């Protein structure tokens, strides 16, 4: 049975196209404007997404060859390369993004079916099957397409991606003591998510559609209102990724 994550690969391709389309029309001054990420311009974000593509190629190489190939040589090198990339001329940075996306797409397409179950390690030290590389790229391109602050919002992110993002955030926030105890209820899907470590108090219930809940959970601008059950304010969540 093939381990190839066909749905994730399709979502990654669509997210990559959305990110590239947003970058396509940026001029030099447009690259220097702030993104939604504190301290990062759009150029920083584009450089980061390009660098991430090559980092994921490293993980696919690891899965294919069995030779340990980390995403990044070090955190310092990663930060340095993002800064260097952000200073490149607009046309050069755009070309670097397209080239890196092309390299990743080729590796994703060529990875043998049996290699998708191989164990690799993320930059945060988690051991995961290589099939998770596809999800890592889905998350990267769709969320950062919003972060560019051009014309993509969470309303443009597919519901399946929003659903998976909420699973991702829930897993990372479940045991965090700095995260308020919140229950998310999707009004357009029969699903709920619990954030924060369980305590004695009942969770604050927050309702909304999948796109709004995903934006809230990931700390991005909301495309529409959310609805706390008690009519109060929506709890502030800690930073995600």
Tell me the per-residue pLDDT of 115-171, one tens digit each, with 9 for 90 and over.
999 999 999 999 999 999 999 999 999 999 999 999 899 999 999 999 999 999 999
6-152: CATH topology is 1.20.120
Residues whose CB is less than 8 angstroms from the CB of residue 102 and which lie 6 or more positions away in sequence, other chains included: none
Tell me the per-residue pLDDT of 164-215, one tens digit each, with 9 for 90 and over.
999 999 999 987 889 999 999 999 999 999 998 777 788 999 999 999 999 9
CATH 1.20.120.450-classified regions of the chain: 6-152
Q: Is 97 exposed, middle or buried (0-12, 13-18, 19+ CB in 10 A)?
A: buried
Confidence (pTM) = 0.95
CATH number for region 159-228: 3.30.1050.20
CATH 3.30.1050.20-classified regions of the chain: 159-228
């Amino acid at each position: 049975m093939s381990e190839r994550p066909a749905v994730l690969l399709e979502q990654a391709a669509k997210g990559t196209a959305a990110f590239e389309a947003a970058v396509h029309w940026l001029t030099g001054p447009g690259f220097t404007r702030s993104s939604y990420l504190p301290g990062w311009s759009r150029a920083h974000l584009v450089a980061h997404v390009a660098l991430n593509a090559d980092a994921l190629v490293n993980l696919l190489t690891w899965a294919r060859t069995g030779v340990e190939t980390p995403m990044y040589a070090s955190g310092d090198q990663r930060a340095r390369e993002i800064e260097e990339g952000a200073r490149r001329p607009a046309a050069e940075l755009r070309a670097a993004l397209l080239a890196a996306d092309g390299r990743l797409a080729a590796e994703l397409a060529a990875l043998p079916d049996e290699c998708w179950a191989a164990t690799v390690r993320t930059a945060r030290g988690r051991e995961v099957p290589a099939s998770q590389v596809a999800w890592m790229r889905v998350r990267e391109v769709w969320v950062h397409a919003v972060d560019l602050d051009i014309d993509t919002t969470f309303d443009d992110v597919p519901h399946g991606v929003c659903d998976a993002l909420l699973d991702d955030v829930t897993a990372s926030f479940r045991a965090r003591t700095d995260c308020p105890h919140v229950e998310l209820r999707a009004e357009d899907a029969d699903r709920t998510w619990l954030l924060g470590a369980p305590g004695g108090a009942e969770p604050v219930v927050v309702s909304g559609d999948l796109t709004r809940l995903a934006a809230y959970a990931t700390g991005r601008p909301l495309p529409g209102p959310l609805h706390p059950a008690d009519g109060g304010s929506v709890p502030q969540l800690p930073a995600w990724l």
